[in-house]
Chains A and B, each alone.
Chain A
């Protein structure tokens, strides 16, 4: 119930292509869904986040699509660039309690030039 399942584990995309990473959850109490980006040797950093009252959020080339009924959310990276090559983590948390984030296992994205 506390898990967030992320796929694929790795993804290779050509420059200019669209990268899509998917996550699914079971716990309907989750109400905050962030995506973190991590470059090698660095700590994760927030990329974009969504709450379940909207179905889509866009920031530049990054878009989160959220399907509340299916309990799924995904990250789309448009016009993928080599500089986007990193590991991406989806996560979820719920109101109240400890504010703990539950993370997916990560997707290593490689964008080839």
Chain B
């Protein structure tokens, strides 16, 4: 049982480049989330998916797109990276409709540096 896995662990991009952050969970959760964490800002929700086939914007969606590929996988895409997107990105799964009582389980994070 790996829980929530994320790839890559670390990435350096140049401004304007694109990349996709991958996330997978093996806990059969319906809901999945993408957050970014910046110093002093806490965790801010970028996008979430309440179930396979649905996605919705969170607090800071600009500059990002997501795909809920199937129940296990939820990817985050940066089409044209900007230095303001330098951050640590966390994927999470779980929540009340997933039978966890509201708990979300987080992956280990992807550290992204945009030059």
A residues bordering B, Cβ < 8 Å? 6, 9, 32, 34, 36, 41-46, 49, 89, 93, 95, 98-101, 103-106
Chain B residues near A103 (CB-CB < 8 A): 42-44
Within the complex, the shortest CB–CB distance from B1 to chain A, in Å, comes to: 15
Say whether A49 contacts B107, CB under 8 Å.
no
Known: A34-B103, A49-B103. A99 touches B97 (CB 8 A): yes
Q: Is the CB of B108 within 8 A of A44?
A: no
- How far is A101 from B58 in the complex, measured between Cα atoms in Å? 10
- Is the beta-carbon distance between A99 and B43 smaller than 8 angstroms? no
Tell me which residues across on chain A come within 8 A of B97, comparing CB atoms.
99
| Chain B residue total in the interface (Cβ 8 A) | 27
- Is the Cβ of A98 less than 8 Å from the Cβ of B102? no
Give B87-115 as 1s and 0s: 1 = Cβ < 8 Å from A's Cβ atoms: 00010100111000111111111000000
Candidates A43, A45, A95, A98; contact of B56 at CB < 8 Å: A98
Q: Which residues of B contact A41 (CB under 8 A)?
A: 109
Q: Which residues of B from 38 to 85 have beta carbons under 8 Å from A?
A: 40-45, 48, 50, 56, 58
- Whether B25 sits at the interface, judged by CB under 8 Å, is no
Distance, CA A105 to CA B108, complexed state (A): 19
